[in-house]
Each structure stands twice: as C-alpha cells, then as structure tokens.
C-alpha cells in the first residue's frame, strides 16, 4: 500500500517509523559531527542567527541531535531541545556539560510529531534537518504550530528535493534506502506545507550549492 506525505502519493519504500529512525541515528551518533555537522554548518548558523535576532526568548529546537547548534544561541535565549534518538541526546548532554551552556533548560527524548508540551509554550520553534526524517512532515508542522504562540515564528532547515535534473534522479534512486538512511532523500516543500503555507513562507537557499533551504513561517 502506498504511503503519503500530506496527501502526496509515494511508494511504500519511503515509510519511516520511530524504530528505524532510532536505529539509524544510533549508528550515526559518534560520527555525526565530523561529516554531517561540517556540511550543515552554514545552514545551522543562519538558522540560529535568525532566532537570535527574534525578540522571543522561549526557543524549541526540534531534532537537537548532538547539540551542535546549542553553543550558538544568544545567552538570553532559553533553549529546550528534543530528539527521538537517545544516543544523539547523550552527545548533546555531554556538550552542554562540557561547555557550561546555562541557557539550555532541557534536553528531552520526545517525538517531534506528538510532543508533551502545552499549547503556545514557545516563541520560536526550529526544526533543523528533521522534516525529511519524520514519518509525516505535515504532522510535524502542525505540532510546531500548536506549541508556538500566535505571532511566533517557525523555522525549518532542510534539504528539499530538486524538481528535475541529475540530482532529482539521484534522490529518487536513494528513496528505497530511506529506512537504512534514516531520512527521505526525495522530500519536497509541498510534503511539509499546504499551498497557503507555501505562499506565506519565505525561504532562501543555503551553502553548499543550495543543498539546504532555510524556511521561515509566521505562526
């Protein structure tokens, strides 16, 4: 049976679940910083710079991973980070302790699509490299909308699939390996946002070579 992202039909090979995500990122936890951390650093820095410029102080970082972004936040921000991977969170806890990051209030093992937070708990929520990991990207965005106050801001940093060309073919070829990779190589922006949300969002391509996009959406 085919699966969908926000009503867009995909093959069953693209299905991810919590266990496959945990398994994949348990493999990556020790080496994540040295490879993906380097590739994603410009996009991560741009996202945190946007948050630091925001007037709100209550920040939720979804998919906090090993905590690479945590030292970049301004001291006045109060950061709560969540991740589904216990192995990645262990690395984040070590980073917070080693660097004495007092602005980090909590690091929690939690499902980004169904958090335990009360509505309107945060001024800003950022999901870095998460939309292509969760089973249902639109459920992720709906949850971010729920936990961010009206007038707050939602930021997404992610790779979104090309519409054509050689990269499109490569992304489609990798799609059957989604469970092994722990992410969807072929996710597109319309899998995450409805047409009105797409129209309202602002976004820009990030280095390297526009591989990632920084998307900002008012709640």
For 72, which DSSP code? G
Q: CA nearest 140: which of 70, 74, 191?
A: 191
The CA distance from 17 to 35, in Å, is 24
pLDDT tens track of the chain, all 219 residues?
A: 334 443 333 433 345 566 766 666 666 656 667 667 788 899 999 999 999 999 999 999 999 999 999 999 999 999 999 999 899 899 999 999 999 999 999 999 999 999 999 999 999 999 998 998 888 999 999 999 999 999 999 999 988 875 544 454 444 443 443 444 444 567 889 999 999 999 999 999 887 757 789 999 999
Beta strands in the chain (DSSP E): 3-5, 8-10, 58-62, 78-83, 104-109, 122-128, 148-158, 202-206, 212-218
Q: Please, what are the domains in the chain?
A: 9-218 (3.40.50.150)
Phi-psi region of 119 (alpha: psi -120 to 50; beta: other; left: phi over 0): beta
57/124 Cα distance (integer angstroms) = 8
What pTM did the predictor assign? Answer: 0.81
What angle (nearest 5°) sits at the alpha carbon of residue 44, between those of residues 183 and 121?
Answer: 85
Looking up tokens 């490569």, which residue turns up?
170
Phi, psi for residue 152 in degrees, rounded to 5: -80, -170
In 3-state terms, what secondary structure has residue 203? strand
């Amino acid at each position: 049976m085919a699966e969908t992202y926000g009503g867009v039909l995909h093959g069953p090979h693209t299905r991810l679940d919590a266990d496959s995500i945990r398994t994949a990122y348990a493999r990556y936890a020790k080496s994540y910083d040295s490879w993906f951390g380097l590739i994603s650093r410009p996009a991560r820095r741009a996202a945190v710079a946007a948050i630091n410029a925001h007037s709100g102080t209550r920040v939720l970082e979804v998919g906090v991973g090993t905590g690479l972004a945590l030292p970049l936040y301004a001291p006045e921000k109060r950061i709560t980070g969540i991740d589904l991977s216990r192995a990645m969170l262990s690395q984040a806890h070590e980073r917070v302790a080693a660097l004495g990051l007092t602005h980090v209030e909590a690091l929690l093992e939690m499902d980004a699509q169904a958090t335990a937070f009360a509505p309107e708990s945060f001024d800003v929520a950022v999901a870095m490299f998460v939309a292509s990991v969760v089973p249902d990207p639109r459920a992720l965005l709906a949850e971010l909308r729920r936990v961010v106050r009206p007038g707050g801001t939602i930021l997404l940093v992610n790779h979104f699939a090309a519409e054509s060309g050689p990269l499109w073919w490569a992304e489609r070829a990798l799609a059957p390996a989604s469970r092994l990779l722990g992410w969807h190589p072929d996710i597109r922006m319309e899998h995450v946002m409805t047409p009105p949300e797409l129209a309202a969002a602002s976004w820009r391509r990030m280095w390297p070579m526009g591989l990632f996009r920084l998307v900002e959406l008012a709640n």
